[in-house]
Structure formats: C-alpha cells, structure tokens
Amino acid sequence: MDTAYHIGFLLLPRFSLMAFASASEPLRVANRVSGKTLYRWYLLSEQGEPVPSSNGMVSMVQHSVASATKPALVAVDIPRLDMLTVIAGFEPERAVTPTLLAWLKRQAGAGVLLGGVDTGPYALARAGLLNGYQATVHWEYLAAFQQQFPRVLASQAMFITDRKRFSAAGGTACLDMMLHLIRTQHGQTLAAAVADQFVYGRMRSGSDNQRLSLSQRLPPAHQGVIQAITLMEQHLEDTLSTAQLAAGAGLSLRELERLFKRWLQTTPGAYYRRLRLEQARSLLQQSGLSVTDIANQCGFSSLAGFSRAYRAQFGQAPSENRPLPVLSQTRYRPF
C-alpha cells in the first residue's frame, strides 16, 4: 500500500528555480534520510510542455493540466494529489489561463491542500481560492497583490498555512515551509536531519519577516537614521516632511540632514524620493494600476512631477517600464 504523501508542483512560465529547488529538494532528502518513501512529487504544466524558469533554464514536466480537465483522463494522467504547489516568478498574470483556473478549482473541490510560492499565490487568488484566507507573496510583489486582491489577507510573512491553503514568499522561505511540513508530519528529528543536509543552521518560523531589518540592510548608521527611514517606508503615500521625519526620529532638522550626509552620502529628501520611486517601479512592473494611480500611491501629487522624477532616477518614462507583451522578451529575476 502506498502511504506516501503526494505533492504536485505546477510550474508557470519563468518560475523561480530557487523557490522550486527549495520546495522540492527537502522531500528528496527526507526520503533518503528516513530510508522510506515518505513523499512522491510530480511536475505539471498547463499543456505538458517544458517550462522555462526565470534564469532561462528549462524544466521538463510529467503531466499536463489541460488533459486533466477532461474527467476521463484525471486518474490516468495525474495521480491523486494530497498537496499542490503553484510556483511562479515574474508576471504570473500572463501565465494564468481559464484552463488553469478551472483545474485549480477542481483541485480545491477535491479537498487538495492548495498553495503557491513566490508569486504563485496569484493564480489561486485569480481563481477566488484565497478569498478570506491569510497568504503571503514575495515582498517585491506584495503591494500590487494587496491592491488587486483586497479580499485576501496578505502579509509579508515568511510562510503561512491557513486551513486548506498555504503560501511561501519564495527563495529559501520555501525550504523553511517544507521543513515545517516534514516536522509536522514526521517529527523534529527528521526535519533537523534534513536541515543539516542543506547546512541550514536555523529553521525560521512562518512569522519571521522576509527581509533583513533596516540595520542589517544599511551600512552601519546612527539609530536616528534608521528610525527616520522606517518612517519613510511607512509613509510612502502620505508623505512626511523632513521636519516631521526629524521629530519622529528625535532629532533636530539640521542633525538629521548631517547624519544622512555622513552615513548615506545623501539628503533625507533624496533618500525618501528614491524609496517612493522604487515602490512606483515595482507597481508599474507588477500591477495593472494606471500611472496616475501609482503616482498618487507613491506620494506624488503631480503626474508631470512624477514622470520627471522617474526619468531622472531610472532613465526612462514610467510608461516605458511596463511589462513587455511577449514572454520571451521580458526580463528575468535573478533568483
């Protein structure tokens, strides 16, 4: 009798290879370390075609989702799954089709544990399968995801399991999520042994933040600078004046400007503007919001002023930073 836990990995074009490896390799190691077939996994794509990852490497798959939409072929083509993971990367909306959405709904109806990693939750959200559920996506995509799917309780958690849904931020967060699965199903000893095989010294919890703290991301800096930047990140739309930032950091205006010059070689205003423009670029690349809406959400009251600032920062107009229409021409995320 087959007692293995059956997991499907649905690969969307330009999926994150890092996320895929981090999600699948722990299963292989769990089987090897335990000496048992605890897990079986299957690779799927919509038409059964090979799928390019974000770095250009192509993965062969074993099963076609399109054929599984015909009831007579379900048992023949795709084994009964206990868990399905959608793995995506850049612009998942371009890979989501009516066929794929219909198949995901069928899996939900069959009681399969459904989830996504990196930007994979987009497909589930489009299918309406995350409404009312907690979920996470890669931090770079979070703002656009929250705008597009307000009924999803999205956060910047490392990974989340909520009833019959799960999600992970991508990258090594997928390893943490799978270690959590192994620990839940087979105990801490096996999960620790799997982590040791990857020279992975600490199993993070789902509630850990995706990004390093500001003090870790920035060069060594005065605590007042850290506090001011924290305020900037919290007020990208309803912007604060430099005087308000200084007051919030417990500094005088002159002292704040001096510290920014010393530690970051820029002014508070220039640093703040760059943060807002980087957020705007992310929304331009990852959401369907209009340029005007994005300008407003990033604290620019004038579209003309936003366009000038954007061109000065990135060397192109906001409209030129929209995704290209042809998949083979789009940029690749480096992980």
Q: Which domain, by its residues, includes 234? A: 214-321
| pLDDT value for 221 | 66
3-state secondary structure of 155: strand
Element counts in the chain: helices (H) and strands (E): 15, 11
Check whether residue 48 and residue 148 sit in a common domain.
yes
Check whether residue 189 and residue 270 sit in a common domain.
no
- The pTM assigned to this predicted structure is 0.76
| pLDDT value for 329 | 33
Q: Does 261 reside within a domain?
A: yes
Check whether residue 181 and residue 36 sit in a common domain.
yes
- The tokens describing 183, both together, are 């620990």
| pLDDT value for 207 | 75
| Positions in the chain short of pLDDT 50 | 71-76, 324-335
Check whether residue 158 and residue 293 sit in a common domain.
no
Which H or E element spans position 165? strand 165-168
Amino acid present at 283: L
Buried b (16+ CB within 10 A) or exposed e, 109-118: eeebbbbbbb
Check whether residue 169 and residue 129 sit in a common domain.
yes
One DSSP character per residue, 175-194 reads HHHHHHHHHHHH-HHHHHHH
Which H or E element spans position 87? strand 83-87
DSSP state at residue 43: E
Domain tally, the chain: 2
Q: Does 332 reside within a domain?
A: no
CATH at 57: 3.40.50.880
Cβ 63 vs Cβ 48: under 8 Å: yes
Tens-place pLDDT, residues 287-335: 778 899 999 999 999 999 999 999 999 999 998 877 644 333 333 343 3
CATH at 244: 1.10.10.60
Check whether residue 29 and residue 148 sit in a common domain.
yes
| pLDDT value for 70 | 54
Residues 6 or more apart from 40 whose CB is under 8 A from it?
A: 2, 4, 5, 6, 7, 79
Check whether residue 69 and residue 136 sit in a common domain.
yes
